């Protein structure tokens, strides 16, 4: 009877352990954002001699609005005006920019800041001319305010993501893969934002560019890139971009994110789950075995004593 009681207690312990494993925190919904841009006219773009008109679409926020200067999440959409259809989408829980800049005395310093939730698609974003396999290039330009808390005096950093399906870049002749091969940035060295900046650079425009050497956000056709784990991309010696909770897709055909392809960091994290479960199962088996042996030993002792 004691053995049965011990096995019953062990079963209760295992139920509590698995109950804890099942109560994961609810992940943040990237589409639930606060203060979103409602600007609509971003002008015309010309690609390969063909002019296409594209606009940023006003998105209704699904969460209570917060201060315009608060950090993320970032929620950007860019679409064809004439087709009322998104061509590029990007969501991120957080986008942080780390800038290295020259200071007095020939030294360097770093300044980091997070994109506020007013970040939006801007002039410079380009949709392809159509949604056929002839469409090989698309560009998302993010307008990221920084500096003064006064909206009328804020600086703007423009961050360009160049997406491609060009087989000469992706190496995929079937045009079934896309990637970001270049990320550029344009901003101004505001002396009020960059402390002790070298005077000859104060107020000057700065450019950061990757020279088309990147291979980021690689996905198959009709898939979206997703990376919940923190990640970083070094653009050049002056700029590094850090992402958390990123999901993006170019060459969108259905006005929404397609099936996500996880980044390698997320895959490695998911590989830990079966390891943890296996370890818990092994621990439970060990506990039950020890309890059984202890109970059996006590029963034998009591039997000998009674004899």
- Do 278 and 249 lie in one domain? The reply is no
Domain boundaries, position 272: 2-24+267-306
Residue of 125, 205, 116 whose CA lies nearest to 160: 125
Tell whether 53 and 135 lie within a shared domain. Answer: yes
> Does a structural domain hold residue 140?
yes
pLDDT in tens, the chain (307 residues): 444 444 343 444 344 433 333 333 322 222 222 222 333 333 333 333 333 333 333 332 222 233 345 776 888 888 765 567 888 999 999 999 999 999 999 999 999 999 998 999 988 888 875 444 456 899 999 999 999 878 788 999 999 999 999 999 999 988 889 999 999 999 999 999 999 999 999 999 999 999 998 999 999 999 999 999 999 999 999 999 999 999 999 988 888 999 999 998 888 754 555 666 777 888 888 888 888 888 877 777 777 666 6
Could you give the number of structural domains in the chain?
2
Q: Do 219 and 144 sit in the same domain of this protein?
A: yes
Evaluate the omega torsion of the peptide bond into residue 168 and state whether it is cis, within 30 degrees of 0: no
Residue closest to 59 by CA, chosen among 82, 28, 26, 91: 91
Helix (H, G, I), strand (E, B) or coil at 279: helix
- In a domain, residue 170? The reply is yes
Domain shared by 285 and 147, yes or no: no
Does 32 map to a domain? no
Nearest to 137, CA basis, from 207, 50, 58: 50
pLDDT, position 184: 96
Establish if 289 belongs to a structural domain.
yes
DSSP 117-163: TT-EE-BTBB--SSSSTT--EEEEEEEEEES-SSGGG-EEEEEEEEE
CATH at 215? 2.40.160.110
Domain boundary among 227, 245, 262: 262
Other C-beta atoms lying within 10 Å of the C-beta of residue 63: 14
- Same domain (yes/no): 200, 302: no
Residue 275 lies in a domain: yes
Domain identity same for 213 and 276: no
Residue with tokens 């344009």: 186
- 209 burial level (CB within 10 Å; 0-12, 13-18, 19+): middle
């Amino acid at each position: 009877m004691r053995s049965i009681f011990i096995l019953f207690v062990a079963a209760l312990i295992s139920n509590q352990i698995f109950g804890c494993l099942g109560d994961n925190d609810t992940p943040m919904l990237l589409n639930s954002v606060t203060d979103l841009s409602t600007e609509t006219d971003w002008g015309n773009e010309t690609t390969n001699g063909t002019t296409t008109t594209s606009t940023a679409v006003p998105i209704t926020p699904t969460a209570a609005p917060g201060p315009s200067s608060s950090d993320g999440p970032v929620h950007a959409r860019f679409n064809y005006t004439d087709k009322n259809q998104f061509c590029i989408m990007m969501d991120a829980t957080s986008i942080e920019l780390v800038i290295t800049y020259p200071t007095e005395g020939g030294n360097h310093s770093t300044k980091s800041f997070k994109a506020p939730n007013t970040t939006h698609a801007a002039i410079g974003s380009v949709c392809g001319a159509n949604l056929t396999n002839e469409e090989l290039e698309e560009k998302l330009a993010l307008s990221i305010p920084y500096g003064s808390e006064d909206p009328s005096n804020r600086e703007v950093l423009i961050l360009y993501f160049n997406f491609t399906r060009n087989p000469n870049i992706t190496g995929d002749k079937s045009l079934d893969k896309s990637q970001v091969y270049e990320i550029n940035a344009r901003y101004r060295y505001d002396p009020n934002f960059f402390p002790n900046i070298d005077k000859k650079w104060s107020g000057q425009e700065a450019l950061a560019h990757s020279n088309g050497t990147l291979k980021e956000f690689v996905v198959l056709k009709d898939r979206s890139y997703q990376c919940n784990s923190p990640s970083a991309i070094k653009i050049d010696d002056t700029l590094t971009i850090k992402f958390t909770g990123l999901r993006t897709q170019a060459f969108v055909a259905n006005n929404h994110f397609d099936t996500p392809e996880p980044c390698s960091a997320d895959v490695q994290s998911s590989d830990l789950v079966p390891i943890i479960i296996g370890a818990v199962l092994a621990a439970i088996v060990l506990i039950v075995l020890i309890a059984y042996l202890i109970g059996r030993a006590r029963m034998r002792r009591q039997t000998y004593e009674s004899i």
